[in-house]
Structure 1
């Protein structure tokens, strides 16, 4: 599968386990490193937004009060993603909200999440910071809107993902830096990275042949 869904949430706080809820979600679908579709919506979860969150994101209580119910938005988001594997910048955060918001509706969220923070730490230890905005500036990627709004952050994360995939192809000889490869790469320690890349290159040059015959029944 060549499609990847890059997701970003804006929320009322840091943890759904503490009662925090999502206020906005955006999903950008990429295919072969190019954006092919987008979904974005504010959502009304029936909770108040703290003043410091409004100051950070610009999302006000009036905005979410006028937004569709969270359940409707999350059902739309789940249909939009389907079974496409997912990516987020600081994926542990966004995955918590994806799982928690869908669980409220009894919807299973089983997609694997790759993380552009972990990937950038493996590949770009020289970067001054691995925050999304800092990496966007470091690589001179386009800023697509206001930071800390879901669609702008999802699109910038998609740009960063495209840069990561490009560098894997051109600098590391990875023919197909698909989601499965990204998941394996982010689990690799920095110290083990050269051996990991070498083993992958050897596997591409000498693929394991398919079995030529099946065992007799």
Structure 2
């Protein structure tokens, strides 16, 4: 499997459209079934972190006061990722912040996003929950640290991506695992996924 950059943001709110900003980013690059590189940093945009977000993430306004500027972090992480395809759990959320924070440093995303949440709903329908932490416990994947911290969550999503890659290979006989395949599968209606996987196995 070619490299995939699995990312996670912690933020001050739900959407950049509501003036929320990123407070932390974590990236875990996976290749051939394992994490091969990592990036993490707090990022100071000057935005205020509400108390309930501080409680959820453990990221305080005081911590961000001493963090590197958001512009510096986004330039660093964009250089780190380059044009490697992107993945996130509930990618619609992280994609919005990736694009918005990049735009503030006059850069733009050049690669597609895949979503491990959408993929898990199709490939792991038997899981009792598709929340990231619940999925990792159900699949007995390694603990990566405190939930709602960016690198820990990125590593969880990376381990889940590797787990689903192994599932496609060993259970469904699909050897050509790629980001493009993930993007295709996440769009298939759940009722049709078995038929599509069988077709890919026979191809």
User: Do both proteins adopt the same fold according to a TM-score greater than 0.5, normalized to the shorter chain?
Assistant: yes
Match in the other structure for 1:49: 49
Deviations 1:93-142 (A, max 9, x none): 00000000001111011221111100100011111110001001101111
Structure 2 residue runs without a partner (length 5+): none
Q: Within 1, Cα distance between the matches of 2:195 and 2:129? A: 25
Q: Within 2, Cα distance between the matches of 1:198 and 1:127? A: 21
Matches within 5 A, 1:92-171: 92-171=92-171
The SS at the match of 1:46 is coil
Q: Within 2, Cα distance between the matches of 1:66 and 1:163? A: 37
What displacement does 1:47 show? 0.7
The SS at the match of 1:127 is coil
The SS at the match of 2:23 is strand
The SS at the match of 1:156 is helix
Q: Within 2, Cα distance between the matches of 1:201 and 1:139? A: 24
Match in the other structure for 1:91: 91
Q: Within 2, Cα distance between the matches of 1:133 and 1:98? A: 22
What displacement does 1:74 show? 0.2
Q: Within 2, Cα distance between the matches of 1:9 and 1:19? A: 15
RMSD: 0.9
Q: Within 2, Cα distance between the matches of 1:198 and 1:55? A: 46
* Higher relative contact order (Cα pairs below 8 Å, separated by 6+ residues): 2
Match in the other structure for 2:79: 79
Q: Within 1, Cα distance between the matches of 2:124 and 2:33? A: 19
User: Which has the higher mean CA deviation after the structures are superposed, 172-181 or 190-199?
Assistant: 190-199
The SS at the match of 1:41 is strand
Deviations 1:131-155 (A, max 9, x none): 0010011011111111000010011
Residue 37 (structure 1) aligned with residue 53 (structure 2)? no
The SS at the match of 1:47 is coil
The SS at the match of 1:187 is coil
The SS at the match of 1:191 is helix
Q: Within 2, Cα distance between the matches of 1:161 and 1:199? A: 22
Match in the other structure for 2:197: 197
Q: Within 2, Cα distance between the matches of 1:157 and 1:105? A: 27
What displacement does 1:202 show? 2.5
Structure 1 residue runs without a partner (length 5+): 204-217
User: Which has the higher mean CA deviation after the structures are superposed, 46-55 or 101-110?
Assistant: 101-110
TM-score of the superposition, structure 2-length normalised?
0.98
Match in the other structure for 1:10: 10
